[in-house]
Structure 1
Amino acid sequence: MEAIIYIAHGSRRNAANEKFISFIKKVMDSKSKVQVYAFLEHAEPTISQAIGTCLEKGAKVITVVPVLLLPGIHAYEDIPNEFKGYPDIVFRYAEPLGVDEIMVEIVMDRLGAAGLEQKEDEVVLLIGHGSREPEASVEFEIFARCLAGNINVEVHTSYLTTPVFYHEMVEKLAGKRIYILPYLLFFGGYMGKIEKEIRVYDKIIKLCDPVGFDEKLISLIQKRASEVRG
């Protein structure tokens, strides 16, 4: 018996977790495998609880799908560490969502809804969470270049928790019409924080909606699940 566990980070805000649950149930449309979801932090079911559900249903092979935007410590250390201690179970790991044309489409949708006209005085500032894993920032830069190639506008990257911080980038982009886009699935209090902090700048700034759990992600998550590694 095979199983799939879809793992999200989780939020202290129950409403955000409920959004993920509603979304991931649309991903779990196949009846051929046991499919469950779990949260790394702040909510239940936990990863260990999800593993228990899979084992109770007779699973011997479990595909682990991190529903995360970029690679990082969570994807490469925290989540795999939760699966140690099960010598009789084969675990297969999918990659995070990463760089993909679907992600570009979603971000372009957000920018279009915010009024981006692709003029010379416009610039896009992506805000990621930030990670200690260097690969995360490398992949974020690759994504920014892909996006820039599709919209013919300068695209810059910044972070909430690690340098370069987004407010520093706002200062550097003086004289431009700045479209700020939080590159986040779970955002909660971060949006309020960003809104409050950008009010102090005497600049033309448009805060776009975050990525969130867009339904376009469904096919991408299913694609990542099919590309698993041992």
Structure 2
Amino acid sequence: MMPACLLVSHGSRDPRPGVAMQQLARLVIEQVQSVGSEIVVDTACLELNPEPLHQQIIKFVRNSAACDKIRLKVVPLFLLPGVHVMDDIPTEVALARQALSQEILIELQPYLGSHSGLELLLAKQFATTTATARILIAHGSRRPGSQTPVETIGKNLGAVNAYWSVPPSLEVKVKELINLGNKQIAILPYFLFAGGITDAIAQVTEKLQLQFPDVDLQLAEPLGASAELADLVWDLIQE
């Protein structure tokens, strides 16, 4: 069967994540070619796309020159096992399977946040700062248990956890660390790419810096498209 992979992100009105997704797809192809293999890689969005995900999957398969021999792996580029990963994407994949030929194998791979190698990438991001206190801020989810993986990562990296969409907030955690006497605090956004939310996190950080001028708040960059991240995606494709 002809191998193919569809990298699924949330989707955004901000163009930057889409550009980064295309860059990551190219890096994955380069990684595959470096080991002497070939694969077709494309991207799709769960939300904020004119077509629902299952229609994007169907179109991708039917536009393939070898659609009757294709083996498609769908990789969710999500960091937390929230509703999108556990419910929405499996539902969309099931709809695509129903609409396509039985000869076409569609496999739903583990989500990106389940890869243990992410912790090493985050450690490298923290290493770019000089702060002794650390905050790892993720999007968050109201699905029970979805925060557990990032809480574990935070603990392993010596960081406290904050969330954008659910408590505790970045502001609360910054103030807690300041009250404990910390004068240098690193803030790492647990997000794949720069976008609207990371911009908002930067704005909150700037306001907190003005509020606490004697404290050095060091905001790191999100993960970003890199060869290291492409390696992790390739690992998930091969599972």
> Which TM-score band (shorter chain)?
0.7 to 0.9
Aligned residues: 216
SS at match of 2:197: helix
Does residue 98 of the first structure (1) align with residue 113 of the second (2)? yes
Does residue 215 of the first structure (1) align with residue 219 of the second (2)? no
Deviation at 1:134, TM superposition (A): 2.7
- Residue equivalent to 2:26: 25
Mean CA deviation greater in 196-205 or 170-179: 196-205
Point out where structure 2 has 5 or more consecutive residues left out of the alignment. none
Q: Distance in 1 between matches of 2:230 and 2:192?
A: 13
- Residue equivalent to 1:42: 48
Does residue 115 of the first structure (1) align with residue 130 of the second (2)? yes
Deviation at 1:131, TM superposition (A): 1.0
Deviation at 1:77, TM superposition (A): 1.3
Go from structure 1 to structure 2 and tell me whether the alpha carbon gap of 1:212 and 1:32 turns closer, same or farther (over 3 Å shift): closer
Q: Distance in 1 between matches of 2:155 and 2:130?
A: 21
Q: Deviations over 1:113-147 (max 9, x none)?
A: 2234xxxxx21100000112233200111111222
Specify which of 71, 83, 87 is matched with residue 77 of structure 1: 87
TM-score using structure 1 length: 0.83
Q: Distance in 1 between matches of 2:238 and 2:137?
A: 29
- Residue equivalent to 1:144: 154
Point out where structure 1 has 5 or more consecutive residues left out of the alignment. 117-121, 149-154
Q: Deviations over 1:193-227 (max 9, x none)?
A: 22322323313311111122232111111111122
Q: Distance in 2 between matches of 1:24 and 1:45?
A: 20
Letter in 2 for 1:197: V
SS at match of 2:118: helix
Q: Distance in 2 between matches of 1:40 and 1:28?
A: 22
- Residues 123-202 of structure 1 mapped to structure 2, 5 A cutoff: 123-148=133-158, 155-174=159-178, 175-176=181-182, 177-198=184-205, 199-200=207-208, 201-202=211-212
Instruction: Name whichever structure is richer in helix by fraction.
Output: 2
- Residue equivalent to 1:226: 238
| Contact residue 21 and residue 43 of structure 2 kept, 8 A | no
Q: Percent identity?
A: 27
Q: Distance in 2 between matches of 1:161 and 1:112?
A: 26
Mean CA deviation greater in 198-207 or 24-33: 24-33
Deviation at 1:112, TM superposition (A): 2.1
| Contact residue 8 and residue 68 of structure 1 kept, 8 A | yes
Q: Deviations over 1:25-51 (max 9, x none)?
A: 221344544432211123478632233
Go from structure 1 to structure 2 and tell me whether the alpha carbon gap of 1:159 and 1:28 turns closer, same or farther (over 3 Å shift): same
Q: Distance in 2 between matches of 1:196 and 1:183?
A: 16
SS at match of 1:210: coil
SS at match of 1:11: coil
Q: Distance in 2 between matches of 1:135 and 1:91?
A: 27
Q: Distance in 1 between matches of 2:51 and 2:120?
A: 31
Coordinate RMSD, CA, aligned = 2.3
- Residue equivalent to 1:151: none
